């Protein structure tokens, strides 16, 4: 007997073949979305995968800035975001206009933008970074050069502390990661004394200070695989637990907070993926002038590392 999901999955697979599409899923997506994807990863891994694929259509299961990053790197492919409301509140905490105003206050500063930003903000930035490489990129900026870091204040202050650099921080934050509280880590450490704690750098400073390792989602996936720890406490959006548990059946993963759910990520479902493939909607295409300028910032990140 087939259930609804089996039928949906079959239809998605058939349409995927007919339209020469590939499905990419971020680590924070619903489990059933991750399971149907051709590749699951963080936004940079997904963009790199997209750049290499010979598929004509990329169904991007994540949030809008991620689909834009794919469009920046793959201008000739059709990039579909199954729900146009899947935006990122952190990315929306800065606009290109406000960044331009800030740049006039710090005309000598290098503008480093977290990948969680719109293509238009990337176009006004000198270099892009991800949660996996911010610290290394900050280290490469010549000493004495000011760094204006946008839009995530917590990732910025983590990189500043790790490198000993003073940075000008935009006051943005991820509403999901700030739900992760230090007292929850302290309680879980008492309940699981042998567990390791990993936290995402978008978490509050008081949270990252309590972690054994501060890692991007890709870093957490590798940490889980390589660590001897049998119990790992996870301080990030809980969608990643699906993949961690699937890939490491002998280990136990404990979320710091069940409240750490990004509602926008969860807008993508099997139904919306099917609709997207049927209608070839919603297409995300960055205008060429913006794309070329945004690509410079992304390319610089890739060149420096
Ligand atoms: O780069 C990404 O995909 C984000 C937003 C977080 C992470 O650590 O993967």
Q: In this predicted model, what pLDDT tens digit does every residue of 274-298 receive, in sequence order?
A: 999 999 999 999 999 999 999 999 9
The CATH number that domain 3-87+265-287 falls under is: 3.40.50.10800
Q: Which of 25, 60, 116, 176 to mutate to test the pocket of ligand 1 (most atoms within 8 A of CB)?
A: 116
Q: Which of 64, 216, 222 to mutate to test the pocket of ligand 1 (most atoms within 8 A of CB)?
A: 216
Indicate the CATH number of 177-261 among 3.40.630.40, 3.10.330.20, 3.40.1390.20, 3.40.50.10800: 3.40.50.10800
Stretch 161-169: mean pLDDT: 97
Asked if the model's pLDDT at residue 2 lies above 70, the reply is no
Mean pLDDT estimate for the chain: 96
Map residue 273 onto helix, strand or coil.
helix
Map residue 235 onto helix, strand or coil.
strand
Is residue 217 within 8 A of residue 42, CB to CB? The reply is yes
CA 89 to chain centre: 12
**290 Cβ closer than 6 Å to some ligand 1 atom:** no
- pLDDT tens per residue across span 41-77: 998 899 889 989 999 999 999 999 999 999 999 999 9
Distance 43 CA to ligand 1 centre (A): 6
pLDDT at 48: 87
What whole-number percentage of the chain has pLDDT above 70?
A: 99
Place of tokens 């409240």: 259
The CATH number that domain 91-173 falls under is: 3.40.50.10800
Asked if the model's pLDDT at residue 18 lies above 60, the reply is yes
**Interacting residues of 175 by C-beta distance below 8 A, sequence separation 6+:** 89, 90
Distance 131 CA to ligand 1 centre (A): 6
pLDDT at 1: 47
CA 31 to chain centre: 16
Q: Which of 64, 115, 128, 159 to mutate to test the pocket of ligand 1 (most atoms within 8 A of CB)?
A: 115
- Beta strands at 213-214 and 127-129: parallel, antiparallel or unpaired: unpaired
Sheet-wide strand order for 78-80: 39-41, 21-26, 57-61, 78-80
CATH 3.40.50.10800-classified regions of the chain: 3-87+265-287, 91-173, 177-261
Distance 228 CA to ligand 1 centre (A): 24
What whole-number percentage of the chain has pLDDT above 90?
A: 95
């Amino acid at each position: 007997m087939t259930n609804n999901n089996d039928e949906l999955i079959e239809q998605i697979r058939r349409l995927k073949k007919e339209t020469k599409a590939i499905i990419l899923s971020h680590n924070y997506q619903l489990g059933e979305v991750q399971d149907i994807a051709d590749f699951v990863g963080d936004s940079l891994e997904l963009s790199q995968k997209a750049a290499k694929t010979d598929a004509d259509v990329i169904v991007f299961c994540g949030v809008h800035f991620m689909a834009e990053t794919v469009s920046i790197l793959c201008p000739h492919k059709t990039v579909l975001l199954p729900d146009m409301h899947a935006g990122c509140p952190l990315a929306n905490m800065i606009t290109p206009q406000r960044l331009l105003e800030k740049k006039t206050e710090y005309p000598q500063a290098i503008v480093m933008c977290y990948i969680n930003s719109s293509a238009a903000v990337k176009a006004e930035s000198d270099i892009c970074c991800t949660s996996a490489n911010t610290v290394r990129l900050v280290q490469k900026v010549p000493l004495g050069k000011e760094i204006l870091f946008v839009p995530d204040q917590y990732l910025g202050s983590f990189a500043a502390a790790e490198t000993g650099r003073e940075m000008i921080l935009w006051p943005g934050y991820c509403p999901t990661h700030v739900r992760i509280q230090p007292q929850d880590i302290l309680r879980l450490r008492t309940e699981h004394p042998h567990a390791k704690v990993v936290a995402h750098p978008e978490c509050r400073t008081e949270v990252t200070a309590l972690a054994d390792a501060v890692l991007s989602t890709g870093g957490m996936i590798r940490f889980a695989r390589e660590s001897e720890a049998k119990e790992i406490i996870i301080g990030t959006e809980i969608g990643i637990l699906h993949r961690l548990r699937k890939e490491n059946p002998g280990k136990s993963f404990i979320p710091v907070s069940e409240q750490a759910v990004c509602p926008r990520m969860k807008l993508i479902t099997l139904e919306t993926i099917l609709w997207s493939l049927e209608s070839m909607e919603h297409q995300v295409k960055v205008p060429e002038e913006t794309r070329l300028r945004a690509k410079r910032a992304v390319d610089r990140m890739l060149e420096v590392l």
